[in-house]
Amino acid sequence: MFSKILIANRGEIACRVIRTARRMGVKTVAVYSDADARALHVAMADEAVHIGGSPVAESYLRGDVIIAAAKATGAEAIHPGYGFLSENPGFVDQVTQAGLVFIGPSADSIRAMGLKDAAKRLMEKAGVPVVPGYHGEAQEIVILASKAREIGYPVLIKARAGGGGKGMRRVDHPDDFADALSGARREAKAAFGDDRVLVEKYVDKPRHIEVQVFGDNFGNAVHLFERDCSAQRRHQKVIEEAPAPGMTAELRAAMTDAAVKAAKAIQYSGAGTIEFIVDASDGLKPDRFWFMEMNTRLQVEHPVTEMISGVDLVEWQLRVASGEPIPLAQEDITLSGHAFEARLYAEDPAKGFLPAIGTLHHLSFPGEAAAGTELRIETGVRQGDAISPFYDPMIAKVVTHGPDRTTALAALADAVTRTEVAGSTTNAAFLAALARDPDFASGDVDTGLIGRKQDELTVTAPPSSRAVALAALAATGAMASAASDDPWSSLTGYAHFNPLARRATLSFGGTGIVAHITARPDGRFQVRPEGGEAFVLSAGAGAGDAGATVAAWPGHVTVFEAGRSFDFAISDPFARAAEIGEGTSSMRAPMPGLVKLVRATKGDKVAKGQPLLVLEAMKMEHTITATHDGVISEIAAEGAQVTDGTVLVRFEE
Ligand code: ADP
Ligand code: ADP
Ligand code: MG
């Protein structure tokens, strides 16, 4: 076994790898960018090396600098995590040439599977069923369009270098093919520097089912059953589970056989995932699954496999990379119970899952699992850390395990509901809604489920009047010193002989709220929002009692109630004036990005909902639509780099 390894990654996956390494007595070296100088993975590792600036191109993608860090610290091997350099064969070659071990497959295996078109050609040869479509070399639009017609609509255009759902467009009608192709190419070019595509038949009622495989350097390959990742938005996984609901013995045998065959075809060593698309329009049939791609690394959702198999996949990675055979024979790998993973992201589901940024002023995960279940939180951040625009906005993975699917899913819903984040918009309420969705619960899932139920799953209920009252009381600062028994001491400016009333002004979703707060002789407060009912609250209210929690942070108060979070801004009269001066008739960039396409010009009369421009943020395209009807007086220029809050569109008064 290695005595020291370097982890060429950040966030939750770096922390995850460090944990297993430590348990095995292997020393760890972290690497970090400027933005990550105080990150959790740096604090957890035995040593840490600064590798450059915050943008990934200046740090986590600098293979040469990372290899130098490994040499300088005496690390013998490099674990790449996922993303970044994990599937870069050139990096693997450099690592090997430097006399280090890459904890993952060979460069040749990665090359064989790196591009989706070549991988499909290879799998076809190996006798693995592949998704029908065109995965040849030609890239001319006329050829691709005619191939699409041959395949039959709907089709899916995919970036051959794709990953993370980027560079992908579903096309339902030939008239839309050209637009979709240029969109897919633009996104692919930006994300992967490669705009070549393939065209696939869009599978009916698609289910994403993938098989975890593991190979070693002695020609052995095994599988660790399947995961179902059909709960997706924009082709990205949201909730994953193992085993797949409704899986039959026949389909499992066929899929796991094909997966092991695929791994053996490329002498695969280490952890890998074979992703299949399954046509579930007529139940799960052993002749209705096709190879989509192989991910030649540890997968984001690997914990669900660990929960049902009891195997630590990172431990296996270290053992196999250090020259040991796979620790278990196929027949000794067993499946027990059911596991779920939900990806908690800083993003806004109601705005097309637009990525968000912010400082996690309050971050709290449930401490214990629901009875009879196990709970595992995989995170790389702590309270006070920032979700920056530089990296993937994942906050945590919430993982549960139970004896059966219903129990594990209820535990997931419960855990997500009890997770509290303030300081950034998150998808927590959306995840809880999905975990409680009757269709999802029935197990009759397909990749279109979230899209069909988007409105239901993202519905935003207004805060209850009690939540408003709690926010108003917190806004006065009363709760900050709730530890004191004396209500007067906590409210600055109060005195026993003064009229014991105070006004709190705050706003929720742009609407102003004024509340009158009166201190009562019994040490509690009466809080009466104007036009609303009065509540008698103690300063300790909201500290978890009566189902609500309150977190105050600079300029804001967040109330957590029944799995929802309500962010109230404490009104600053100066900021208000500035806003009014600005007028309501402008649209601002919701996050830093690049203006990719502009679809309107000055003087245009536009209707609410009309697409105005395309903002590229986090390497994905986001369409910005008009918030209301109006005439455009100013619009951002194509190619402009904008920061969070930059005015993108101004309307005429
Ligand atoms: P999974 O199937 O594990 O969810 P994804 O394809 O979603 O895998 O990718 C996992 C992570 O790796 C994401 O953070 C994604 O942004 C990143 N990623 C995937 N492919 C690439 C790539 N080719 N280049 C850079 N990052 C990638
Ligand atoms: P990525 O590298 O971005 O993960 P994949 O090829 O794995 O790309 O596809 C991502 C997702 O897109 C799949 O999980 C699936 O939901 C959907 N998808 C891919 N190919 C098809 C297809 N041919 N028909 C229907 N859906 C598909
Ligand atoms: Mg995929």
Summarize pLDDT for 431-469 with one digit per residue, the tens.
999 999 999 999 999 999 999 999 999 988 889 889 999
What is the best residue among 110, 113, 117, 168 to mutate for testing ligand 2's pocket, by most ligand atoms within 8 Å of CB?
Answer: 168
* Whether residue 300 has its Cβ less than 6 Å from ligand 1: yes
Whether the per-residue pLDDT at 579 is higher than 90: the answer is no
Does residue 446 form part of some domain?
A: yes
CATH of the domain at 590: 2.40.50.100
Name the token pair of 370.
Answer: 């629901």
- Closest Cα partner for 321 from 646, 581, 17? 17
Q: Please tell me whether residues 272 and 297 are part of one structural domain.
A: yes
Instruction: State the total domains in the chain.
Output: 5
CATH of the domain at 186: 3.30.1490.20
Q: Please tell me whether residues 330 and 443 are part of one structural domain.
A: yes
Q: Which residues of 340-349 are buried (b: 16+ CB within 10 A; e: fewer)?
A: bbbbbbbbbb
Rounded to 5 degrees, what angle do the CA atoms 362, 237, 370 make? 55
Segment 194-220 shows an average pLDDT of 97
What is the best residue among 115, 277, 281 to mutate for testing ligand 2's pocket, by most ligand atoms within 8 Å of CB?
Answer: 277
Q: Which pLDDT tens digit goes with each residue over 338-380?
A: 999 999 999 999 888 999 999 999 999 999 998 999 999 999 9
Q: Which pLDDT tens digit goes with each residue over 401-428?
A: 999 999 999 999 999 999 999 999 999 9
Whether the per-residue pLDDT at 574 is higher than 80: the answer is no
Whether the per-residue pLDDT at 577 is higher than 50: the answer is no
Single pTM value for the model: 0.88
Q: Please tell me whether residues 251 and 193 are part of one structural domain.
A: no
Does residue 128 form part of some domain?
A: no
Ligand nearest to the CA of 159: 2
Whether the per-residue pLDDT at 494 is higher than 50: the answer is no
- Closest Cα partner for 158 from 111, 120, 212? 120
Please enumerate in sequence order all residues whose Cβ is within 8 A of that of 318, keeping only pairs 6 or more positions apart, or say none.
1, 2, 5, 20, 21, 24, 26, 77, 79, 103
Q: Please tell me whether residues 373 and 435 are part of one structural domain.
A: yes
CATH of the domain at 40: 3.40.50.20
Q: Please tell me whether residues 523 and 437 are part of one structural domain.
A: no
- Closest Cα partner for 416 from 428, 427, 407? 428
Calculate how far, in angstroms, residue 155's C-alpha sits from the geometric centre of ligand 2.
11
Q: Please tell me whether residues 173 and 270 are part of one structural domain.
A: no
Does residue 113 form part of some domain?
A: no
Rounded to 5 degrees, what angle do the CA atoms 19, 25, 30 make? 50
Final residue before a domain boundary, out of 570, 597, 621: 570
Q: Please tell me whether residues 295 and 390 are part of one structural domain.
A: yes
Does residue 59 form part of some domain?
A: yes
Q: Which domain holds residue 271?
A: 206-457
Minimum CA distance residue for ligand 1 atom 22? 163
Does residue 109 form part of some domain?
A: no
Cβ(397)–Cβ(12) below 8 Å: yes
Q: DSSP labels for 4-17?
A: EEEE---HHHHHHH
Does residue 15 form part of some domain?
A: yes
For 588, the 3-state DSSP assignment is strand
Q: Please tell me whether residues 549 and 409 are part of one structural domain.
A: no
Minimum CA distance residue for ligand 1 atom 21? 163
Q: Please tell me whether residues 630 and 644 are part of one structural domain.
A: yes
* Distance of alpha carbon 643 from alpha carbon 327, whole angstroms: 50
Which of the two residues, 645 and 255, has the higher pLDDT score? 255
Final residue before a domain boundary, out of 457, 483, 507: 457
List active site positions: 297
Does residue 121 form part of some domain?
A: no
| pLDDT of the residue at 543 | 58
Segment 98-117 shows an average pLDDT of 97
Final residue before a domain boundary, out of 103, 118, 146: 103
* Whether residue 155 has its Cβ less than 6 Å from ligand 2: no
CATH of the domain at 430: 3.30.470.20
Q: Which pLDDT tens digit goes with each residue over 21-52?
A: 999 999 999 999 999 999 999 999 999 999 99
AA identity, residue 391: Y
Cβ(135)–Cβ(158) below 8 Å: no
Q: Locate the ligand 1 atom nearest the alpha carbon of residue 275 and give its number.
A: 2
Q: Based on the number of CB atoms within 10 Å of its own CB, is 552 exposed (0-12), middle (13-18) or buried (19 or more)?
A: buried
- Mean pLDDT across the chain, nearest whole number? 91
Q: Please tell me whether residues 448 and 596 are part of one structural domain.
A: no
| pLDDT of the residue at 221 | 98
